Chain A
Amino acid sequence: MAGFKSTEKYIATRDLEVAVNAAVTLQRPLLVKGEPGTGKTVLAHEIAGALGLPLIEWHVKSTTKAQQGLYEYDAVSRLRDGQLGDPRVHDIGNYIVRGKLWEAFEADEQVVVLIDEVDKADIEFPNDLLLELDRMQFFVYETRKTISAKHRPVVIITSNNEKELPDAFLRRCFFHYIRFPDRATMEMIVQAHYPDIRKDLAREALNVFFQVRDVPGLKKKPATSELLDWLKLLMVEDIPIEVLRSNEKQVVIPPLHGALLKNEQDVHLFERLAFLARRGA
C-alpha cells in the first residue's frame, strides 16, 4: 500500500507522516489533536485521498451515543407498526438502523473512518467503543448476529481537548499533536493552496499574519484556515502590497481583518494598539 505523504494540497510534516503510516500499517486508530484550524479534519480527507480509499465521516455531537455509530434499534416505529398491524413488524431486522461503523465494517473494500471531535460527546463515549475499535467487531443483540469488519478500516479520531479521554482508550491509539506550523511550513502550505499567488504578496501577508499571532493577549489566535481565507480575500480584492507593509515596530490593523480576528475584543485590542502606535509616531 502506498504510504501517506504530503500532497499538493496538504503539507504534512514528517512526524505526521510517520504517525499516519504507523496507524495505517498496524491498523490502529490515530488520535489527532491540535489548535483549531490546523487541519485535523482535513487530514482524514487527505489520508483517504492518498490511500485511494472511500471516507466515512462520523461527526460527533454532545448528544451522540457510541451505540449510534454501531446500530440503533428503532423500537418506537416497531411498536407503532405493531399497533397498526403492519406485517413488517415480525422481522426485527427491519428496525435495525445501521450506524457509520457498521457501514465501514460491511464495506467491500477498506475504508477510512473519521470520528470527528470525539471529545464533544459524553465522557463515556470513548469507553463504549473500546472493544469495537480494538477487535473491529460488535454484537447485535436484537438479531443475535456478530458484525465483524471485512477489512479493518483506517480510523482517524480528532479531539479538541474539551474532555479528558480515558486511558484505556488512549492506549489503543496512536497519537499526534498537530503543532502550529512554522514559517517555512506555512509558506509551503500557502504555496500548495494558492500556487499562483504573487510571491511578494504572500511574503508580506505572512509577515503580518505572524505579527498578529505574536500580539500578546489575543483571545483567539488566527490559525491556518483563517490565513488561507484571508489570503483569498486579499487576492480577490486585489489589495496593494503597500497596505500590508509596515515598519517593524508599528502595529497596523491588517486590511480585511474580519477574516483573521474572530472576536470583537481582539479587534478592539488591535485598534488600541494601532492608536498607541500612531500616537507614538
Chain B
Amino acid sequence: MFSHLVLALRAAGLPASVTEHLTLMAAMKAGVAEYSIEDFYFLARATLVKDERHLDKFDRVFAHCFKGLEPPEGVKVEDLPEEWLRKLAEKMLSPEEMEKIQALGGLEAIMERLKELLAEQKGRHQGGSKWIGTAGTSPFGAYGYNPEGVRIGQDESRHRRAVKVWDRRDYKDLDDTVELGTRGMKIALRRLRRFARQGAATELDIPDTIRSTANNAGSLDLKMVPERHNNVKVLLFLDVGGSMDDHIKLTEELFSAARSEFKHLEYYYFHNCPYEKVWKNNRRRHEEVIPTWQVLRTYGPDYKLIIVGDGAMSPYEITMQGGSVEHYNEESGTVWLERLSSQYRHSAWLNPTPKQSWGHVRSISMLNDLMEGRMYPLTVNGIDEMTKELSR
C-alpha cells in the first residue's frame, strides 16, 4: 500500500526508493503514526524525504495523492483512519480484482481519466472539492487499485478542516529550482567547494620519517605532513552593466562567496561578450584595461573558466567584427569565445536568467552552442550541474 505515493514522488523527481517505502510500511505496522492522518504525513515525510530542498515538492505530491482524504462530515477524524488503514492492508490485488479493473476499460484508461482530474485539482489548493475513491475513505482509488472500481464523485465537501499542513507549503523557499537567494547561494557554494577541498588533513611523510628515524639511531620517529588539497584554480569572467544590472546583486553575492572558497581565484569583468580587453576595476574600466591575450597567457589551461552573464544582446555582438556596443572590436565575440574555450578545457557559462526563457533570446542559444551546451542557470541545481561538469 501507499506505493502510489512513492511512485508519484519518483515521478516528481524525488529520489524515494524501495528501501524507504519498506521502512514506511514497517513504521506503519509498528504503529508509529497512531492512525492519524497528520502523523502519517509527518511519518511519510521523515521516511521519504531526505533533503529539505525536496520538502516543498513532497508537500505538493502528498496533497495531490491524498486529495479527498478529509473525512466526511460527522465522522470524527480519530475514528476514520483506522478503518481505512486496516481495509487497505487487506487489499492486495488478486486476479479477480484485476479482471474487474480490466472490465472498467483497462487500467490505462482509468489512470488517464484520473490524471486529468488530478491535474485539475492541482490548480486549486484547497482541500476537498472533488473526491476520488470510495466515499473518500480510500485514497487509493486515485490510481485505480480499487476492486470496487473507481468512483469519482463531485461532492462539495461542506466540512473542511483547517488548512492542512502539507497544503501550507512551508518549505517553498528551500526548493532548489528557484533562483538563488542568499541562503541558496551559501549552499550552492558549498557545492563549488566540493571540488575545491577533498581528502582529510594529514598523511605520513615517508622520506622524512626514514631520515628522522635514522637520525634517532633506529628508534621510530614519525613525521606527518598536511595532505595536499586539490588546488582548484578558477578564472571568473563577470558581465557588468546593461541588462546585467538586474542581476548584479546575485552576481556580487556569488563573487564574494566564491572568493572565500578558492585559493586561486582570478576575476575579470567584461560587457555583454568577452572581446580583446577585460578589466578588474569597474570604476576605472576605461583606464585600466587588460588585454584578454594577457589573461590567456598568464593563466594556464589548468584553470577552470566560469563566465557569468545573462547573454542578452544583439546577435551581431557575438558574430560580427565591430559588433560591440561599446567600441570597435577587431575580432568577433565568436573568435574570442572559441579562443577562451579552447584554452580552458573546463569552462562553463552561468546565466542568471531563468532557463525557460533562454529559448526566446537568440543570443543565448548562440552562446550556448559556442559553449558546447555548457550553459547553466544560476540556481542551486545549475551550479551543481556545472560543478559536476567542471570537475570531470
Rounded to whole Å, the gap between the CB of A210 and the closest CB of chain B is: 16
- Chain B residues bordering chain A, tally (CB within 8 A): 39
Q: Which of A25-33, A49-57, A255-263 contacts B (4 or more CB under 8 A)?
A: A25-33
- Whether, in the assembled complex, A274 has its beta carbon less than 8 Å from a beta carbon of chain B, the answer is no
- Contact A21/B190 with A65-B200, A167-B15, A176-B46 known, Cβ cut-off 8 Å: no
- Whether, in the assembled complex, A62 has its beta carbon less than 8 Å from a beta carbon of chain B, the answer is yes
- Whether, in the assembled complex, B202 has its beta carbon less than 8 Å from a beta carbon of chain A, the answer is yes
Most chain A Cβ neighbours within 10 Å, of B31, B32, B39: B32
Q: Which of B5-13, B19-27, B349-357, B371-379 contacts A (4 or more CB under 8 A)?
A: B19-27
- Whether, in the assembled complex, A175 has its beta carbon less than 8 Å from a beta carbon of chain B, the answer is yes
Are A26 and B26 in contact, CB atoms less than 8 angstroms apart? Answer: yes
* A218 (CB) vs chain B CBs: closest residue: B182
Are B50 and A171 in contact, CB atoms less than 8 angstroms apart? Answer: yes
The 8 Å CB contact of B39, one of A18, A79, A165, A177, is: A18
A215 to B130, CA, bound (A): 41
A138 to B94, CA, bound (A): 43
Complex interface bits, A75-104 against B, C-beta within 8 A gives 1, otherwise 0 = 010011001000000000000000000000
* B219 (CB) vs chain A CBs: closest residue: A83
- Whether, in the assembled complex, A22 has its beta carbon less than 8 Å from a beta carbon of chain B, the answer is yes
Are A33 and B17 in contact, CB atoms less than 8 angstroms apart? Answer: no
* A161 (CB) vs chain B CBs: closest residue: B187
- Contact A170/B194 with A26-B23, A26-B26 known, Cβ cut-off 8 Å: no
Are A22 and B190 in contact, CB atoms less than 8 angstroms apart? Answer: no
A-chain residues with CB within 8 Å of residue B38 when the two chains form the complex:
14
Are A15 and B220 in contact, CB atoms less than 8 angstroms apart? Answer: no
* A34 (CB) vs chain B CBs: closest residue: B52
Most chain B Cβ neighbours within 10 Å, of A18, A165, A171: A18
- Whether, in the assembled complex, B222 has its beta carbon less than 8 Å from a beta carbon of chain A, the answer is yes
Are B200 and A174 in contact, CB atoms less than 8 angstroms apart? Answer: no
* A19 (CB) vs chain B CBs: closest residue: B46
Are B222 and A76 in contact, CB atoms less than 8 angstroms apart? Answer: yes
- Whether, in the assembled complex, A239 has its beta carbon less than 8 Å from a beta carbon of chain B, the answer is no
Complex interface bits, B176-194 against A, C-beta within 8 A gives 1, otherwise 0 = 0000000000010011001
A31 to B52, CA, bound (A): 11
Rounded to whole Å, the gap between the CB of B380 and the closest CB of chain A is: 11
Are A22 and B47 in contact, CB atoms less than 8 angstroms apart? Answer: yes
B-chain residues with CB within 8 Å of residue A165 when the two chains form the complex:
50
Rounded to whole Å, the gap between the CB of B186 and the closest CB of chain A is: 9
Are B170 and A18 in contact, CB atoms less than 8 angstroms apart? Answer: no
Are A83 and B50 in contact, CB atoms less than 8 angstroms apart? Answer: no
B-chain residues with CB within 8 Å of residue A213 when the two chains form the complex:
none
- Chain A residues bordering chain B, tally (CB within 8 A): 38
- Contact A15/B15 with A63-B202, A163-B194, A177-B52 known, Cβ cut-off 8 Å: no
- Whether, in the assembled complex, B162 has its beta carbon less than 8 Å from a beta carbon of chain A, the answer is no
A121 to B198, CA, bound (A): 10
Are A18 and B50 in contact, CB atoms less than 8 angstroms apart? Answer: no
- Whether, in the assembled complex, A242 has its beta carbon less than 8 Å from a beta carbon of chain B, the answer is no
- Whether, in the assembled complex, B92 has its beta carbon less than 8 Å from a beta carbon of chain A, the answer is no
- Contact A174/B190 with A21-B32, A26-B26 known, Cβ cut-off 8 Å: no
A83 to B190, CA, bound (A): 47
Chain B residues numbered 182-225 whose CB sits less than 8 Å from any CB in chain A: 187, 190-191, 194, 198-202, 218-220, 222
Are A173 and B26 in contact, CB atoms less than 8 angstroms apart? Answer: no
B-chain residues with CB within 8 Å of residue A14 when the two chains form the complex:
38-39, 42
A22 to B42, CA, bound (A): 10
The 8 Å CB contact of A179, one of B32, B170, B220, is: B170
* B199 (CB) vs chain A CBs: closest residue: A122
* A15 (CB) vs chain B CBs: closest residue: B42
A26 to B25, CA, bound (A): 11
- Whether, in the assembled complex, B43 has its beta carbon less than 8 Å from a beta carbon of chain A, the answer is yes
A-chain residues with CB within 8 Å of residue B199 when the two chains form the complex:
122
- Whether, in the assembled complex, A193 has its beta carbon less than 8 Å from a beta carbon of chain B, the answer is no
A-chain residues with CB within 8 Å of residue B254 when the two chains form the complex:
none
- Whether, in the assembled complex, B49 has its beta carbon less than 8 Å from a beta carbon of chain A, the answer is yes
A-chain residues with CB within 8 Å of residue B32 when the two chains form the complex:
18, 21-22, 25-26
The 8 Å CB contact of A19, one of B23, B30, B42, is: B42
Rounded to whole Å, the gap between the CB of B102 and the closest CB of chain A is: 35
- Whether, in the assembled complex, A248 has its beta carbon less than 8 Å from a beta carbon of chain B, the answer is no
The 8 Å CB contact of B50, one of A31, A79, A163, is: A31
- Contact A22/B27 with A122-B200, A171-B17, A174-B46 known, Cβ cut-off 8 Å: yes
Are A80 and B46 in contact, CB atoms less than 8 angstroms apart? Answer: no
Complex interface bits, A16-51 against B, C-beta within 8 A gives 1, otherwise 0 = 001101110110101101000000000000000000
Complex interface bits, A148-172 against B, C-beta within 8 A gives 1, otherwise 0 = 0000000000000111110100111
Are B30 and A26 in contact, CB atoms less than 8 angstroms apart? Answer: yes
Chain B residues numbered 338-368 whose CB sits less than 8 Å from any CB in chain A: none
* A217 (CB) vs chain B CBs: closest residue: B182
Are A177 and B27 in contact, CB atoms less than 8 angstroms apart? Answer: no
* B186 (CB) vs chain A CBs: closest residue: A161
- Whether, in the assembled complex, A233 has its beta carbon less than 8 Å from a beta carbon of chain B, the answer is no
A-to-B contact residues, CB < 8 Å: 14-15, 18-19, 21-23, 25-26, 28, 30-31, 33, 62-63, 65, 76, 79-80, 83, 121-123, 161-165, 167, 170-177, 179
Please list the 10 inter-chain residue pairs (A to B) with the smallest Cβ-Cβ separation, ordered nearest first: A170-B50, A19-B46, A18-B42, A15-B42, A177-B52, A63-B201, A22-B32, A174-B46, A175-B50, A25-B30
Q: List 11 A-B pairs, Cβ < 8 Å.
A: A14-B39, A18-B33, A18-B46, A25-B27, A26-B30, A63-B201, A83-B220, A163-B194, A171-B17, A171-B50, A177-B52
- Given A15-B46, A22-B32, A162-B190, 8 more A-B residue pairs with CB atoms under 8 Å apart are A14-B42, A25-B32, A26-B27, A63-B201, A83-B220, A161-B190, A174-B46, A179-B170
